[in-house]
A and B are shown apart, each in its own frame.
Chain A
Amino acid sequence: MPISGLVITFDQTFGHPDETISRLRGEPAIEVGACDRQQCAIVVDTPSQADDKKIYQWVQDLPGVAGIQVAFVGFDDDAPPDSSSTTDSVD
C-alpha cells in the first residue's frame, strides 16, 4: 500500500479544529504532524487499498474539513498490470 502524506485544510468558518485534530489522533492508521488553525499534516498508513479509501473518506467527512491535498506518496511493491500491447518476444 502507498503511504501518503496529506494536508487537511479546515473551513475558515469552523471554530473547533482542535476537536477534529483530536479525532485524527485517535485513529491508529493516522499519524498527525504539524497543525495550525487552517491546516494539518497527516500520514496515512493502511494495510489495504480498501482501508485507505475508507480512511480518506472518514477524514473528508470529519467536521470542518474543507479539503485534502496530497503532499507525498510512497510506492508499494505490487507489480502493476501489463497493458494490452505485446511484443510477442521470442527468447
Chain B
Amino acid sequence: MDSKRRGFLKSAAMAAASSMVLGDAEFSLPVLGAADAPSDGDDLTWNKAPCRFCGTGCHLQVGVHEGRVVAVAGDKAAEVNKGLLCVKGYHVGGILYGADRLTKPLLRKDGRLVEIEWDEALDIVAQRIMAAPEKFAFYGSGQWTIPEGYAAQKLMKGGLSNNHIDPNARLCMASAVTGFLATYGVDEPAGCYDDLDACDVLITWGNNPAEMHPILFSRVTDRRSRGENVRIIDISTRRTRTTDAANDYLEMAPHGDVAIALGIMNQLIASGTYDKDFVEKHCAFRALESESPTLQGEAISEDEFRKRIAAYTPERVEELSGVPADQIRMLGKLFGDRNLRITSLWCMGMNQHTMGTAVNSLVHGVHLLSGHFGRPGDAPTSLTGQPSACGTVREVGTLAHALPGGRVVANPDHRAQCEGFWNLPAGRISPTPGYHTVKMFDQFTKSSDEGGDIDTLFVQVTNPGQTLPNLNKLFNDKEKLNDKFLIVSEVYPTATTQLADLILPAALWVEKNGIYGNSERRTQQWFKLVDPPGEARDDTWMTIAIAHRLLELGHEGMKDKDGEFIFAVKDDQGEDIPIWEFEHYYDTNVDKHLFEEYRQFTTMKHKNLAPYDEYVKARGLRWPVVQQDDGSWRETRFRFAGFDDPFVAEGEEFDFYHSSSGDGRAQVWFHDYQPPPEVPDEEFPMWLCTGRVLEHWHTGTMTRRLPQLNRAMPTAYVEMNLQDALAQNIRQGETVVIESRRGTTQLPVWIDGRGRPPRGTIFVPFFDETKLINNCTLDDHDPFSKQPDYKKCAARVRKLSEASS
C-alpha cells in the first residue's frame, strides 16, 4: 500500500473513531471534515451505502480511491447502526476484490466452461425461453435490489405470463409472511428497531442475534452497560452467544416454541391477566378449519378459544417443550404485567419450521392477548437474514403467488390493477400461482419424461446449490439431465455454478445502483461507486437485455398494449434510450425509472413510498412514508398505532386496517401442537440443527473470500455435547461423518465450542461449500408458507473409521 493511501486511511480511521467518541461530532459526507483532511487527500471520495450482508441494514460510508473501494466506516448519521458495524460490515469492501471474480460469460461445452461474448449469451437465454416460455423459471433472492426484483417480476408475470418466479427468501422468512398475513391481514412488522431501545424485557425465540444481528443486539447490551435494566430471556435449543448475555436461558426441545407460546396464553387466560380492554376493542379469535385448512382459517368465539387453550397447562407444556412448568408460569406472569415493555425477536428458528406459520401467529397472539403491542418497546418483531428480503421479496412480491404491493395472482382485481399499471392487455397475467422454491427445483431436477416441466432455470443473486434442503434430491440430480439448462448470474464460482450450463458475470453491491428494504420497513438507496471488473454487468440490465432479445425474436409479451417495449425508457424528446445495450445502460438512472413505476403499487396496502430522490437524501425511510402539508415526507415507526401511523383515524388508539375479519381487528390464533415430521430414533438418534455464524454470511461466497473473516472461521464444524462425544469416543477436532436418511457430509467436531448443544443435539453451520450439511437436511415444509425446516431432523454421528468400514 503506498504511503499516500496509507495516510488517507489513517486520517479517515481517526475521524471515524473520534466522531464516535465525540457524540456530537458531525459525520456527514464527506467523512473527513475540512480540518481533518490531509492536503493531498482530495481524490479520496466517500459515499453512503447500506451493508451488503444481513437484513439489519446498517449504513456505511464507503471510501473510494482511484476507482477502488479502499475503506469502510460505520455511518454515524444512520439511525440503524449509529456509526457501528459488525465484523462482517467492516470488511464488506473486500468482497469486491476476491481473486476469482467472474468477468466473462462462460458456456459449458462438452463438460467444460468456455468464455463467450455477451451477445451470444443473451441469444442463448432468449432462445431457450422462446422455445418453451412456460417451462422457464426465474429464481432470485432477498439479495436482489428492489429494481432487480421488480424487473424480474415484470418480465415473468407481465411479459411471459409465467408465474414460476420465486426467491430463496422462501427458505428464509416465508413463514414470517404467512404469520403476519394470518394475524394482521398484511405483511411485515408493526414495530421497528426503536423497540430495542425501549423494552424492559427482550425475548429471543430460537434466535441468536448476538451473532446473526449483532448490531441490533448491541443496542440492548449497550443500554445495559449504561446502567439500564434490560432482562434478556433466551429460549433456544442450544446455548449460544446470546445465552451468554441472557438473564434466563430456557432450553426447549425442537418444536417446543409452539407449546411455550400456547402455555403463555394459557396462563394469561387462567390468571385473568390478559388485556381485556385491548382484546375486546382490537382482537378476534381464529383457528384452522377442521377440513381443508386455509391461511385465513375460521373465526372462533372467545369461549371456544378459552376451551382449547385450557389444555396447554404449564405441566403439559413442560412435557411437550422440555421447559419446566415454573418457567412457563414465569413467562405468563411477565406478559401479564402491563407495566413492563416486552419485545420478542425471532428469525430462522421460528420460520424454518414445519409449523412456521402457526408459531409465528401464536407469538403475535401472545403479544396481542397480553396487550404488549403498539407501545414503543412492546412488539413482536421478526428479523430477516437477507438485506432486502422485505423490500424486494415481500414488498415487490417476487414470490410465485404474488404481485407487487401485496397483491396476489389469484385475485382478478389485483391482476387487473397490475395490468393497468403496466399498461398491458387485459388477461396478460396468469391467475395460477407458479412453483414455490422446493417444487420449482423438484420439477427442474426431475426428467422431462417423468413430468419435470421446468427445463430452463435462471438463478440470480443466490446459491441454491448450497442452500436448498436435501440437495441430492433437489439440486444434484440436475447433473444427469442433459435437456435441462441452468443459467446462473454470479460474482464468484459457487456450488451452484458447478452445475451451470451458462454463467453470467454479475456486478456486485456498489458496482451498481441499488435500493434495499431492511427488516424494519426501511427503504435504502445507494449509487454505483466503482466499475465492476471485466465484463461483469448489472442483474437488472441482464433482465432487460433478455427481454429485448425476446422482443426481437417476436415475443408479443414483451410489448405493452400500445406496442411499446415493456421496459421502455424515453429521453426528453420521447425517443427510446437503448438501456438494453450495456454501453447505454447508465445514460439514465434505470433504478429511478423502475422505482417510480413500482411506487404506484405500494399504496393499496398502505406501504407508501416516497419519491426516489427522497431516499437519495436519507439514510433510508421506514414506510409508510407520507407527504406532509409542508411538502416534506414523513416516515412511520409504529404501524397501526394512532400516535404514529398516519392511516389510523385521529382519535383512534389502534386500527388494524387490513384486518382479515374486515372490522379493524387483529386475529389471536389457536393452533394445536403437532410433533416434528422426523424425530430421532434408534438408527438416527440425534437432532440435527443448522444455521449461521458471526463471521460468515449465509453460504460464505463473499465472506470466505475475505482473509480476515476466513482466518477467523476457516471451516464448518459440528458442535457436539461433551457427553455425546465421550460416549462415542470422539475427540475434539476429530473429523466425523454426519449422516441422515438423505445424505452425508464430513466435519471436524467442536466440543463445548461457541454454541453448546444439549445431549442428543448437534449443530452445523451451512456457510462452508466444502462441507455441505444440506445433503442431510429435510425438505418437509410448512403447509402455508412452503418453507422447509432446516432446524430439526434425525441424524447420526459416526467416526470416520466406522463409516468407511
- Give A residues with C-beta under 8 Å from B: 2-7, 9, 31, 33-36, 39-43, 45, 49, 66-67, 69-91
Contacts and interface: CB of A to CB of B under 8 A. Distances in A.
A71 B70 contact: no
A53 to B, nearest CB: 10
3 cross-chain pairs, A with B, having the tightest CB-CB distances, nearest first: A5-B13, A74-B9, A41-B17
B474 to A, nearest CB: 19
A71 B12 CA distance: 10
Given A3-B10, A35-B21, A85-B492, A72 B94 contact: no
B360 interface: no
Interface in B64-95: 69-74, 83-85, 87, 90-91, 93-94
Contacts of B90: 70, 72-73
A49 B70 CA distance: 18
17 contacts: A5-B15, A5-B16, A33-B14, A43-B13, A45-B6, A49-B711, A70-B87, A71-B13, A71-B20, A74-B13, A80-B97, A80-B98, A80-B710, A83-B700, A85-B769, A86-B493, A89-B113
A11 B106 CA distance: 56
Contacts of A79: 97, 99
Dominant SS among interface residues on chain B: mixed
B4 to A, nearest CB: 13
Interface residues of B, number: 61
Nearest to A36: B21
A86 B113 CA distance: 10
* Among A7, A36, A80, residue most surrounded by chain B Cβ atoms (within 10 Å): A80
A80 B498 CA distance: 21
A36 B57 CA distance: 30
A45 B9 CA distance: 10
Contacts of B708: 2
Given A7-B21, A73-B91, A87 B106 contact: yes
B6 A3 contact: yes
B705 A81 contact: yes
A41 B94 contact: no
A84 B18 contact: no
Interface in B206-255: 225
Contact of B20 (A7, A77, A84, A88): A7
B494 interface: yes
A70 to B, nearest CB: 5
Nearest to A40: B21
Interface of B: 1, 6, 9-10, 12-22, 25, 63, 69-74, 83-85, 87, 90-91, 93-94, 97-100, 102, 104, 106, 112-115, 225, 492-495, 497-498, 503, 700-701, 704-708, 710-711, 769-770
A3 B9 contact: yes
A79 B581 CA distance: 33
Given A80-B710, A83-B705, A84-B769, A71 B17 contact: yes
A76 to B, nearest CB: 7
A72 B13 contact: yes
Nearest to A52: B708
Given A43-B10, A87-B106, A81 B710 contact: yes
Contact of A7 (B15, B17, B100): B17
B100 A74 contact: no
Nearest to B12: A72
Contact of A34 (B13, B22, B84): B22
Contacts of A88: 112-113
Given A3-B9, A7-B21, A72 B100 contact: no
Contacts of B12: 5, 72, 74
Contacts of B19: 71
A33 B494 contact: no
Contacts of B497: 85, 87
A43 B707 contact: no
Contacts of A85: 492-495, 497-498, 769
Given A5-B14, A80-B710, A33 B21 contact: yes
Contact of A75 (B21, B70, B104): B70
Contact of A43 (B14, B93, B97): B14
A74 B17 contact: no
Nearest to A4: B13
A87 B21 CA distance: 47
B493 A69 contact: no
Contact of B17 (A36, A49, A72): A72
Given A86-B493, A89-B114, A74 B14 contact: no
B102 A72 contact: no
B100 A71 contact: no
A38 to B, nearest CB: 8
Nearest to B11: A43
B707 A78 contact: yes
Contacts of B85: 70
* Among A39, A74, A84, A91, residue most surrounded by chain B Cβ atoms (within 10 Å): A74
* Among A41, A45, A67, residue most surrounded by chain B Cβ atoms (within 10 Å): A41
Contacts of B10: 3, 31, 43, 45, 74
A84 B83 CA distance: 34
B70 A74 contact: yes
Nearest to A69: B84
Given A70-B90, A84-B769, A41 B14 contact: yes
A28 B17 CA distance: 18
B17 A5 contact: yes
A88 B104 CA distance: 13
A85 B10 CA distance: 36
